[in-house]
Amino acid sequence: MALMSRLAVLATAAVTAAVPVLAGLAPAAASPGPAGSGTAAWPQFHYNAAHTGYNPLETTLGPANAPGLHELWLASDASAGTGPGAVSIANGRAFLGGFSPPKLWVWNASTGAVLWKKLTDDLNESTPAVGDGRVFIESNGGILYAFGAASGHKLWTQSIGGAVTSPALVNGVVYAAGYFTMDAFDAASGSLLWSAPLPGLVRSNPAVAAGRVFVATEAAKRNLVALDAATGTALWSRTVGGVQLASPVVSGGTVYQCSAGELSAFGARSGTPRWSEPSNCSLDATPAVANGVAYVSATGQPFAAYSASTGALLWTGGTADSTFAAAPAVANGVVYAAAGSGTIAAYDVSTHALLWTSPDLGLGESAPAVVNGILYAADGGGLYAFGP
């Protein structure tokens, strides 16, 4: 549908009723927990549907051995170009969308061996979401795909309009944002449960927690929106700045949102403003939140850590500007953040010491993942795995 036609429809559309209404949707778990075969998972964008970027289950890779990180393997099959979408890890597999040709790639997470790959209709800036034996990914052409996670068999597709976002998966429901709508689908059948219009263009990933969906849009005002996760009913909206590329993060009943030069916090249930402080946030910087600290790696700014309760600056990581604004990852006392010149830096969260910096591999645009003792990071050359 042409953009102007789509806007005309949305201008008069009411929120579609849930079919069926989901009773008592439980909050998104703080951690996805074990993912089969005795391994933990990093199964969707920024670890979980709340986008905290914090893996509390990691016990192997930490401050003691992070300085010894080195490349374990490179899955260079996608060297034609991976996009800014991040890798997801589940059930011993690594899932990553590619650009040219547009594919969903799946590798053995321990060895980097290709397990399967599937073509999609358009480029993939989406981070896959994996759960219940399925993997979901959005194409830039606005198609939401569901594949069998083990076989790669295509299960279903749904049109969501244009999209450059990543789906969130919670309790058997897939939440996917089109350019001007927020949609919820039954993960097993692909049936549309509800569709809600949004006040502006969406180019950030929706977060789901505590029975709510949080979406940052590019509307001039009231552009952080909270919807009921079961029905799509609008609950509240707040203004957090203009263009929004950063995704909301939900932790401890608070929603954190970066906008250009400002980090803001709101009550997740009511939308009550809690604080808003000047920060090194750029418009595309999604923070990570762990143990009372919000970490931000922002384009053109040094890495920084802020108090999650007050917004006060706690410490900064070096003086070099970040080349990219990839969301940081936190696990077992270490935060991994995009550093200058296409590298990833690891800092001790207690001492703030720089523990390790990756080789200059062009990394940084795609958010890293840390799970089962391995740091995963992607760039145009493919998927890298680093271990101690």
- Domain extent listing, the chain: 79-196, 198-278, 290-377
Alpha-carbon distance of 110 to 52, in angstroms, equals 24
**Across residues 136-156, what is the average pLDDT?**
94
**Across residues 39-55, what is the average pLDDT?**
96
Span 198-278 CATH architecture: Beta Barrel (2.40)
Q: Which pLDDT does position 291 carry in this prediction?
A: 97
**Across residues 56-75, what is the average pLDDT?**
96
Q: How confident is the model at residue 83 (pLDDT cuts 50, 70, 90)?
A: low
What is the pTM (predicted TM-score) of this model?
0.88
The model's pLDDT over 300-343, given as tens digits with 9 standing for 90+, comes to 888 899 999 999 999 998 766 777 778 999 999 999 998 877 88
Among 50-64, 77-91, 224-238, 241-255, name the one with the lowest average pLDDT. Answer: 77-91
Residue 112 has pLDDT above 90, yes or no: yes
Span 290-377 CATH architecture: Beta Barrel (2.40)
Residue 275 has pLDDT above 80, yes or no: yes
Residue owning tokens 């916090």: 265
Span 79-196 CATH architecture: Beta Barrel (2.40)
Other C-beta atoms within 10 Å of 295: how many?
A: 26
Residue 142 has pLDDT above 50, yes or no: yes
Contact yes or no for 334/63 (Cβ under 8 A): yes
Q: Which pLDDT does position 9 carry in this prediction?
A: 35
DSSP string of 6-62, one letter each residue: HHHHHHHPPPPPPSSPPTTPPPPPSS--B-STT-B-B-STTSSTT---EETT--SSS
Residue 156 has pLDDT above 70, yes or no: yes
Across the chain, mean pLDDT equals: 86
Alpha-carbon distance of 51 to 204, in angstroms, equals 12
290-377 has the same fold as 79-196: yes
Alpha-carbon distance of 149 to 136, in angstroms, equals 9
Alpha-carbon distance of 317 to 295, in angstroms, equals 10
The model's pLDDT over 181-231, given as tens digits with 9 standing for 90+, comes to 999 999 999 999 999 999 988 989 999 999 999 999 988 888 999 999 999
